[in-house]
Every structure is written in structure tokens, then in C-alpha cells.
Amino acid sequence: MYQLYYYPDNASLAPHMVLEEIGAPFELLFLDRARNAHKAPGYLKLNPHGRIPTLVDGDVVLYEAAAICLHLADRHPGAGLAPAVGSVERAQFYKWLIYLTNTVQAEMSLYYYPHRWAGDEAGAASVKRRAEARMGEMFERMEDGLAAGGPYLLGHRFSAADLYLLMLAGWSRPFEQPARTRPRLARLLEQVAARAAVQRAFSAEGMAAPYY
């Protein structure tokens, strides 16, 4: 049985939704981030970086949300969460998932942890404003990309990349113009959030609407 260490509405949400989609047995293990449980010695033996999430799959221990999503999609190809390896669709899937984690999620860190890049409150506020503006540009590019196909990132094919996007879009809720303010993105997010597996993940984590 899989074990997923998680904190509600954290980076563990995408792997959690993937687990619900594939339907394999799994155990959710809550880490109280507010009490620094992710820095406890026992957890650091699994994930020396002290970050969330971590997946335990027998003797395999994985961290980094995108890596966990890829691993689960490959372990359960029948769930259809990723195109066949070597296909053109698979290349596009890699493109979107890596863009979401390396570019969009990285920018989110600037928004939520501005003091890591600034020496005072004024500097932190400036970092946060600029990060939000850049995030807006990224959402606009995704909106434009959906114009050529859609409703999903891979056109008419739903994938784990859409789940990852839903997670990140949820983190844009405090923005002046969150992801949902773009019509094509809003349609994608609405369809993904309505999936039964996604609703189970929201319920298990105690999340309430609006989800994005």
C-alpha cells in the first residue's frame, strides 16, 4: 500500500489527487506543518530536505510532487494519466508538467516566501508584487495555449498535468487576478475540480470551495 505524507492544500495535493484517480490503496499520513512535523527526525530520515510531500512505495521513497505524479502515472498506465512513453503526446505531457513545477511553482515560492529574497518588509512586498505579475503572465500564456485546442493541456486528453495545474491555480486564489479569471483556464479548472476523484481528495483534506 502506498503511503503519502501530506498537509492540506500543500504540494502534496497533486499526488493525492493522482492516487485518488488511479484507485490503488493508499494511506494518508498527516504532517502538522504548523508544528514543524516535516522537520522532525523521523520524517527527515525519509526526506532529508524536510519538505512535503513524500511517497513511500514499498522500498521506494520519493519526494518532489511532480516526480511522485510521474511515478504513479507510470506504475498505473491503465488509469490513463499520462500518454505512452515515446509518443508525441508524452513529450507534450513532459513539457507541461515540468513547466508547471520548474517555472510556475518556483514563482509561487517567491510570492509566498518573499522574505527569502528580501532584507526588509519593503523589499519583501516588492518581491511579492513582481511574482504575482509574472504569475499573471504565465497564466496568460497558458490561456493562449488552450485556444489552439483544449479543454485540457493536452487538448482533449485529461492527464496528471491538469491535476497539477489545478493545485497551482488554487494557490493563486489571493491574487488580484487568479488563474480562474481567464475563461479557458476557468473551464479547464471547473472540469477537473468536478471529477469524483478530485472531490474525494478535497474532502479528505478538509478543503472547501472555492478550490481555485
* 52-105 pLDDT per residue, tens: 999 999 999 999 999 999 999 999 999 999 999 999 999 999 999 999 999 999
In terms of Cα–Cα distance, which of 35, 33, 36, 54 is closest to 45?
Answer: 54
Q: What's the pLDDT tens digit per position in 171-207?
A: 999 999 999 999 999 999 999 999 999 999 999 999 9
- The answer to whether the bond into 25 is cis (omega within 30° of 0) is no
pTM over 0.85: yes
Domains detected in the chain = 2-79 (3.40.30.10), 88-195 (1.20.1050.10)
Q: Is 152 helix (H, G, I), strand (E, B) or coil?
A: strand
- Laid out side by side, the sheet with 60-63 consists of 26-30, 2-6, 54-57, 60-63
H-helix or E-strand spanning residue 4: strand 2-6
